[in-house]
A and B are shown apart, each in its own frame.
Chain A
């Protein structure tokens, strides 16, 4: 653990923590929005994967990372639309619908990636975002390079989390979302269109998760690989519970999981003779432990997972 006392190693460690947290942060905040509106979003995992795939396709065909971002949001938003149709309109159990979407995205992205990229799939390097140092701020020791020498998507995340908090808790729009998640009948009586608001919330939620996937492709690895979401969406689900359905809380919880992930990478590196898988479990175990410690202390939105039918008793 002596790396904590070495400044350059500490900087490196914190940077890794942030890097590993970003996809979880995007997905967890997305999950907060959808669950606040009363819709379980188990499909975050599939949305991250869809976003990653979309980012690769967009960047590949337009030659620009911005093209990647747009296609990423379209793919993930499409997955969100399916979830909304199944879980909000048709009233199918939202967990079933979410699982179905995860399985669909896993198969569809694997097939389409091989179809579109062919043999190049794993060897190509896509265009992506590169770090932009913010003058002045980037010079602060340790925190400067960690926080202010990042790429566009990270800066977007800095804006997105407070924006999500502000929208949810300080605007009428957010009040509508929270109302339909707590007591849809009252919200309906007050003139809020419950179904439409749930649609917006779910699609927005999935698009955010898609940005998380886009970050993996456009800022980290510059290539799409099958099942590259690797459970991050599920960790995001526990992060949003740990963060008590609050975007800022979700951010902090996601950072905690990122820290565990960075720690396990460091431990792998420091003890090569121990099979690394024993460390790989860390973020998942930490998630389970966090859920156990929090149990009974937090409460999800009251109407979550419940289909709303206008005029029904």
Chain B
């Protein structure tokens, strides 16, 4: 019985998601569409339809990578709200490398493009990390503000120096076809970015669990004093975790350019960086669960459009439900499994039963 209660607690994120979907159903039932139909269209569209799955996977690539970019610093107790800006800057530097470097073998060029994207995002993560480590400035505010700077910077380049001649709105020229990422599903937009994301999630998991780097990071997050006492260089941990996080988010931006759009568009990300926060909490900060929660969230987003086409229900309802998901998941964090409490409850219940049986 104790085991059973513990298992219930273990899946509290799942209960939180179900509760959010339930409240979401109330929101939907304010409209003329029935919640059942809406959810059926949404989930069957996102997960059981060839083209639906493809569009889920397209969204999953940046959302999964952004989730990792939130998880890594958070293990050290740092909030990276800046994945959005890091995605933008990664896309910017990757497009610059793709468009302006001289002719060279495709394999070398694509490597340079990917590294450039990672470095751009990494730099955008490094700056708030540096300000936190050496000046004690709140990384939450800095990363958020840097998002706005990053987004505007991309709009400036896409609408100014890098703009395609005669384009109706800001976007760059198309990058060469030999730099495009391969597709993973025939006849769809689904590209290999998502596979890289899953691979990286696994790498991050291994690094967190089995290497001293991961252990040091966790120690900083769990007990700063102990970390200092153990001789861990806390400042370096902050710098490294924010740089790596930024680099991973930068990859998300890179893959949006070389995997999906093939140009640098202004405002190309509909908030994937912020989705990363939801994903990270949904996964309970466990890198290996990040792909799963990213799959769920991107399915929700891709399914939202399918649902809107099928039922006429505004897809923004899914944004509201996503907000509910994170509120409920956040609330569920407060409920920790308390073994002694539950043992006492169950023991007294057993005792009560025994007394009752003796009487009859």
Which of A90, A95, A241, A284 lies at the interface centre, i.e. has the most chain B CB atoms within 10 A of its CB?
A: A284
What number of B residues sit within 8 Å (CB to CB) of A? 47
How many Å from the CB of B1 to the closest CB on chain A?
Answer: 26
**Which residue on A lies nearest to B266, using beta carbons?**
A277
Q: Taking the complex as formed, is A285 at the interface, i.e. its CB lies under 8 A from any CB of chain B?
A: yes
**Which residue on B lies nearest to A300, using beta carbons?**
B138
Pick from A96, A275, A281: contact of B281, CB below 8 A: A96
Q: Taking the complex as formed, is B141 at the interface, i.e. its CB lies under 8 A from any CB of chain A?
A: yes
Q: Taking the complex as formed, is A231 at the interface, i.e. its CB lies under 8 A from any CB of chain B?
A: yes
In contact, A238 and B145 (Cβ under 8 angstroms): yes
Given A99-B81, A275-B155, A285-B149, A234-B330 contact (CB < 8 Å)? no
In contact, B316 and A281 (Cβ under 8 angstroms): no
Pick from B140, B155, B320: contact of A108, CB below 8 A: B320
**Which residue on B lies nearest to A107, using beta carbons?**
B319
How many Å from the CB of A244 to the closest CB on chain B?
Answer: 14
Given A99-B81, A281-B148, A114-B316 contact (CB < 8 Å)? yes
CA distance A111 to B81 in the complex (A): 23
In contact, A90 and B155 (Cβ under 8 angstroms): no
Pick from B144, B170, B330: contact of A100, CB below 8 A: B330
Interface set of B (CB-CB < 8 Å, partner A)? 27, 30-31, 79, 81, 131, 135-138, 140-142, 144-146, 148-149, 152-153, 155-156, 159-160, 170, 266, 274, 277-278, 281, 314, 316-324, 326-327, 329-331, 333-334
Given A107-B322, A237-B141, A275-B170, A86-B330 contact (CB < 8 Å)? yes
Given A42-B140, A96-B281, A99-B81, A277-B320 contact (CB < 8 Å)? no
Q: Which of A8-16, A137-145, A194-202, A289-297 contacts B (4 or more CB under 8 A)?
A: A289-297
In contact, A281 and B152 (Cβ under 8 angstroms): yes
Q: Taking the complex as formed, is A5 at the interface, i.e. its CB lies under 8 A from any CB of chain B?
A: no
Chain B residues near A107 (CB-CB < 8 A)? 316, 318-324
Q: Taking the complex as formed, is A74 at the interface, i.e. its CB lies under 8 A from any CB of chain B?
A: no
In contact, B330 and A97 (Cβ under 8 angstroms): yes
In contact, A277 and B153 (Cβ under 8 angstroms): yes
How many Å from the CB of B24 to the closest CB on chain A?
Answer: 10
Q: Taking the complex as formed, is A288 at the interface, i.e. its CB lies under 8 A from any CB of chain B?
A: yes
Q: Taking the complex as formed, is A159 at the interface, i.e. its CB lies under 8 A from any CB of chain B?
A: no
In contact, B31 and A275 (Cβ under 8 angstroms): no
